[in-house]
Amino acid sequence: MDNPRLLLVIALAVVGLLLFQAWQQDYGPRPQAPQGEQGRQAEAPPRDTPAPHAGDVPEPPPTAEQPATDTQAPAVSALASAERVHVRTDVLDVEIDTQGGDLRRVDLLQYPVSVDDPTPFRLMSDAPPRIYVAQSGFTMAQGEGPDHTSVFTAERTDYRLSEGQDNVVVELTWRGGDGVEVLKRYVFHRGRYTVDVSYEVRNGSGQPWKGSFYRQLKRTQVDEGPTMFGIYTYTGGAIYTPEDHYQKIDFSDMQSENLGRVVRGGWTAMLQHYFVSAWVPDSEDTNTFYSRYLADSGYFNLGMIAPAVTVAPGEEQSVGSQLYVGPKVQDRLEDLAEGLELTVDYGFLTVLSKPLFWLLEWLHKLTNNWGWAIVLLVVLIKLAFYKLSETSYRSMAKMRSVQPRMQQIKERYGDDKQKMNQALMELYKREKINPLGGCLPILVQIPVFIALYWVLLESVELRQAPWILWIDDLSIRDPYFVLPILMGVSMFLQQRLNPAPLDPLQAKIMMALPLVFTVFFLFFPAGLVLYWVVNNGLSILQQWVITRRVAKGTA
């Protein structure tokens, strides 16, 4: 190849290709399975564990006297509702419905909808068509017990976290006709998005009580809207098992096959951009993870069900789990459960993205500004790649110094490409020039660029993070397109320092690249464009100094 600029074009094209492929792999649309197709259970559940049923409430396994049924839930426009219990802490504003004791509405008080709209972001809601709720209850093998269709009673309908209070406890009571009483308890903590959910079963009947504790997240598939380029971030389910680790269970997976996997520990979750809800059992508990799609209502259920517990007459027993409903703050998620931080999905370059985020977070602690943290991150990356970049710029400067002789070779051999390339290679060898030397640093830095792209796109810490002046949200595009224009100008200046391509077609392509990439970057997050502008600025300074030295013969 007679000019390294063509390799630059290829390298930049690879950036776009890799970004597109990563999006398609993780977030692109998948083939839709027929809605009526029923899945199969992946593994046999442990003894005394009810297999989740195709209906809305998990059912115990059939017996000889009770044949299996496979009925779908009736079509509904909204979930059944009874009385509402309002709970407000310093970080959450929620509503619990006494119908099932479900968590029906969750507002995140510290996360506004946008910079211009201070309304708290609503993560969960039971208002159609965007239904997204957390449910729990019991499937019964013997006796009577509450599920998420049962009606509870509440002592109060309003709870507030007061000054000096560390938590708020909400208790709901269900009473059966045979003397069984079940107390459902929510514990909300100050400064936390983790809610403790527990049941206390008091068997006042004369017969043993036997039921299995289930927890599930129910939601409808609603378009969450594009982030950029009309491409959508992932919205759907995910699970974690100690054996297979983090796995996405998207809506099409739930439609085509019913999940049924016996797991010790782990968690089940529903994800969307920046936010997550997850049921987290004790790490020693064994549950059957399940998913169900209810075609008639459009509900997707993802949850877990425990082996049956038996409560003798006159005795009590408690079961429970933790429920996380909030932002994907990595240190909080990591402290709660193994692998839960992986819901911050950096894609196939997680191995690079996580250290980059750690470094960026450390720089933010120094500057208290994510924009300046990005600037310092660029400086550190440039220092790390300094020697590699220096070699590249020396190669470019030498290529520039022999440009007249290269032009003479082209004029001498005309259309004889073979002889021209042979003469050029002899010139490179004589002048000790590596024609590919200018491309290696770019190729090495491409993974870093893509990894940072995922960090800026996925990290909720940068959501609505301001920098200076008009940049009040680094996670969205520059509203006035100043940074993309500066990026285009910096690309043009870099080209002026590079040797011009001998091929007129290549020269035209190179002249068009700054404009093409300016348009391309118009819709990138401002934080990513800031990274590119600062990187180009430092590169121009370094290349200018080295080019002058080579031109003076001092390099």
Per-residue pLDDT of 412-427, as tens digits, reads: 776 767 777 777 777 7
- Do 210 and 73 share a structural domain? yes
Q: In terms of Cα–Cα distance, which of 300, 323, 320 is closest to 194?
A: 323
Q: Is the pLDDT of residue 95 over 90?
A: yes
Q: Which residue has the tokens 């496979």?
A: 70
Are 311 and 393 in a shared domain?
A: no
Winning range, highest mean pLDDT, from 92-101, 451-460, 474-483: 92-101
Inside any domain, residue 138: yes
Among the listed residues 447, 536, 527, the one whose alpha carbon sits nearest the alpha carbon of residue 228: 527
Domain boundary among 327, 345, 363: 345
Please give the single-letter amino acid code of residue 366. Answer: L
Q: What is the pLDDT of residue 453?
A: 79
pTM: 0.79
Same domain, 10 and 56: no
Domain assignment present for 306: yes
Cα 278 from Cα 336, distance rounded (Å): 10
Q: Are residues 306 and 384 in the same domain?
A: no
Of 291, 320, 345, the last residue of a domain is 345
- Mean pLDDT is highest, among 26-30, 431-435, 511-515, for 511-515
In the predicted model, is pLDDT for residue 223 greater than 50? yes
For residues 237 and 301, give the distance between their C-alpha atoms in angstroms, rounded to a whole number: 9
- Looking at the structure of the chain, the number of domains it has is 2
- pLDDT score of 538 more than 60: yes
Residue ending a domain, choose from 319, 345, 371: 345
Q: What is the pLDDT of residues 519-535, one digit of tens each?
A: 878 888 888 889 888 88
Taking the C-alpha atoms of residue 518 and residue 504, their distance in angstroms, rounded to an integer, is 22
Domain of 41, in residue numbers? 31-345
Same domain as 314, residue 420: no
Q: Is the peptide bond before 404 cis (omega within 30 degrees of 0)?
A: no
- 343 DSSP 8-state letter: G
- Are 196 and 319 in contact, with CB atoms under 8 Å apart? no
363 and 296 share one domain: no
Say if CB 491 and CB 384 are below 8 A apart: no
Do residues 199 and 271 share a domain?
A: yes
Same domain, 272 and 361: no
